[in-house]
Amino acid sequence: MTDRTLISKQELRRRAAAVRDALSPAEIEAKSRAIMERLFALPAFDRARTVAFFASFRSEVRTEPMMTGALAAGKQVAVPRVRPGRELRFFLVADLGCDLERGCLGIPEPCAHLPEAPPATMELIAVPGLAFDLRGYRIGYGAGYYDRALRRFTRACRVGLAFECQIVERVPEAPHDERVNCIVSESRTIECVP
């Protein structure tokens, strides 16, 4: 990655975080509900028996109601836990009130005793990000957790969950960056084309 790309990513990360953080709590809740409706309407979601969600924090799309809805629909729900070496491993949760604890950076994580969900069993993974482009590239927080994790998800449909204000014209990409297959916002579902 060149210094120019790195600077561009840092600037985009800063701007995208500021725009998302400017949303009111009521806007975040309403937009998250609309995103959930669109996500649950996807054929890939309907077919999936095991779905991976990120546990939202700060001003991210609210995923707790999505996890609750998926469990109520009879799906297995997996949530990531940070492991040594900046690695995400996904564990099955059945009760959000009992199975999640405060983890890395204050983000809710599955309790350590829960069963791990192998990546090959996951059929859909909801992917967080600060910004997404129409090709499916994304900017995260900069540590590369999801880029590394997505390489192991060979079967799963990768769905970026984002507010419309997080969708940008172009995200600078590097060879190690992993794309999503589609993006679901409160107003549209985008099939990503490289």
Task: Evaluate if residue 3 carries a pLDDT over 70.
Answer: no
Averaged pLDDT score across all residues of the chain:
91
Q: What is the pLDDT of residue 1?
A: 39
Q: Is the pLDDT of residue 152 over 50?
A: yes
Tens of pLDDT, residue by residue over 91-116, are 999 999 999 998 877 889 999 899 99
- Provide the residue ranges of all domains of the chain, joining segments of one domain with +: 3-191
Using CB atoms within 10 Å of the CB of residue 22, give its burial: 0 to 12 exposed, 13 to 18 middle, 19+ buried. exposed
Which amino acid would we find at residue 146? Y
**Residues near 14 by Cβ (< 8 Å), separated by ≥ 6?**
none
- 152, 130, 154, 155: which is closest to 140 by C-alpha? 130
The model's confidence at residue 85, banded by pLDDT at 50, 70 and 90, is confident
Q: Determine if the pTM surpasses 0.85.
A: yes
Give 117-138 pLDDT, tens digit per residue. 988 899 999 999 999 999 999 9
Do the beta carbons of residue 71 and residue 77 sit within 8 Å? yes
Given the candidates 3.30.70.141, 3.40.50.10420, 3.40.50.10190, 3.40.250.10, the CATH classification of the domain at 3-191 is: 3.40.50.10420
Window from 11-15, 82-86, 94-98 with minimum mean pLDDT: 82-86
| pLDDT tier at 4, thresholds 50, 70, 90 | very low
Other C-beta atoms lying within 10 Å of the C-beta of residue 69: 15
Read off the amino acid at residue 94: A
- Asked if residue 190 lies in contact with residue 179, where contact means CB atoms within 8 angstroms, the answer is no
Instruction: Say if residues 55 and 30 touch (Cβ distance below 8 Å).
Output: no
Q: Is the dihedral of CA 90, 93, 96, 98 positive or negative?
A: negative
